Amino acid sequence: MRKNKRNRLINRLEAEGAFDVDYLPQGKRYIMPDGDYKYVRTNFFYRLSCIFCRTVTFLLGPILCFVRFGLKVRDKKNLKGINGAICVCNHVSIVDTLFVKQAVGHYRSYHTGAPHNNKKGLGGFIMRRAGFLPLGGGFAAQKKFNLTLEALLKNGAVVNFYPEEALWQHYEKPRPLKIGAFRYAAKFGVPVVPLFVTFEGKHKRAVVNVLEPIYPDVGTDDKRNAERMMNICFEQWKRTYERVYGKSLAYISE
């Protein structure tokens, strides 16, 4: 999609307050998870293929991200001591999963997404083995996802969510957040690591800003904890946006 057309679509959605609407076509050839869906397999050959795919992204991902986006990671020191966490990032590129991997680690990161991203064919094969965890499906699939997520977090994984939900390419502002990722952090007692991608300089190079981790408040119920962490995350994103771009956050109104 051409840049001018994309920007017109995004501006219209912003004016309508439709921040969670996807403007890109989703496709129909994907696998919807169900009660029998295996999010993470443990057999030898599957694990070997996972190592291979993650090694490919580890070797080629940084090259692609630098050549195409000039990507750099800022304040990676904020990840020190993080062992098992929910990560949240603004959704601004079709390859921003590679941005997240470069920030938090290629071998320990997993990435959630809508079921229409769980493609059939070679692309989906590679994505799943590189750590893709599709959301959606019925109650049985959700229960299995929850058990998988709990096990991954206990083993020190960093699991990424896009709490804005929809992909808006190269959109600079933080959008209203969905609470799901923060509910998981509260439920499993793990920190939230906020990432915020900015586009800086003359050539609008992508920068992944690793912000301060947000920890659950011991003694607070899960619902209030989730709301608290979500609000803190949005404020961190907002401050980063205003600092980098030198302007107050304001949305287009109809």
Domain ranges of the chain: 3-245
Gyration radius (Cα) of the chain, Å: 18
Instruction: Kindly tell me the sign of the dihedral angle through the C-alpha atoms of 9, 170, 119, 160.
Output: negative
Report how far apart, in Å, the C-alpha atoms of 121 and of each of 31, 127, 128, 164 are.
10, 10, 11, 27
pTM of the shown model: 0.94
Strands across the sheet containing 205-210: 72-74, 205-210, 192-200, 85-89, 158-161, 109-113, 132-134
Could you report the per-residue pLDDT of 6-28, keeping only the tens digit for each? Answer: 999 999 999 999 999 999 887 78
pLDDT of residue 80: 94
Q: What number is the average pLDDT over the span 135-148?
A: 93
* E strand or H helix at 207: strand 205-210
Q: What type of residue is 24? A: L
Q: Which of the four pLDDT bands, split at 50, 70 and 90, describes residue 4?
A: confident
Q: What number is the average pLDDT over the span 210-229?
A: 95
Give the CA diameter of the chain: 56
Q: What number is the average pLDDT over the span 217-244?
A: 96
What is the CATH topology of the domain spanning 3-245?
A: Glycerol-3-phosphate (1)-acyltransferase (3.40.1130)
Q: What number is the average pLDDT over the span 45-50?
A: 93
Rounded Cα–Cα distance for residues 145 and 163 (Å): 17
Q: Which residues pair with 110 in a beta bridge?
A: 159
Residue linked to tokens 């929910």: 86
Per the prediction, the chain carries an average pLDDT of 94
pLDDT of residue 254: 58
For the cut 90, the answer to whether the pLDDT of residue 218 exceeds it is no
Q: What phi and psi values does residue 225 have, to the nearest 5 degrees? A: -60, -45
Could you report the per-residue pLDDT of 156-166, keeping only the tens digit for each? Answer: 999 999 999 99
Q: Which residues contact 90 (CB under 8 A, 6 or more apart)?
A: 162, 164, 171, 174, 175, 195, 196, 197, 237
For the cut 90, the answer to whether the pLDDT of residue 133 exceeds it is yes
Q: What number is the average pLDDT over the span 242-248?
A: 97
Q: What phi and psi values does residue 217 have, to the nearest 5 degrees? A: -90, 110
Report how far apart, in Å, the C-alpha atoms of 11 and of each of 2, 8, 168, 243 are.
14, 5, 10, 22
- Percent of the chain at pLDDT exceeding 70: 99
Rounded Cα–Cα distance for residues 228 and 216 (Å): 9
pLDDT of residue 33: 93
Which of these, 211, 213, 215, lies nearest to 237 by C-alpha position? 211
Q: Could you tell me if 122 and 56 are in contact, meaning their C-beta atoms sit under 8 angstroms apart?
A: no
Q: Which residues contact 234 (CB under 8 A, 6 or more apart)?
A: 174, 176, 177
pLDDT of residue 219: 86
For the cut 70, the answer to whether the pLDDT of residue 223 exceeds it is yes
Name the pairing type of β-strands 192-200 and 109-113. unpaired
Could you report the per-residue pLDDT of 51-107, keeping only the tens digit for each? Answer: 999 999 999 999 999 999 999 999 999 999 999 999 999 999 999 999 999 999 999
Which of 27-36, 109-118, 204-213, 223-232 has the least mean pLDDT? 27-36
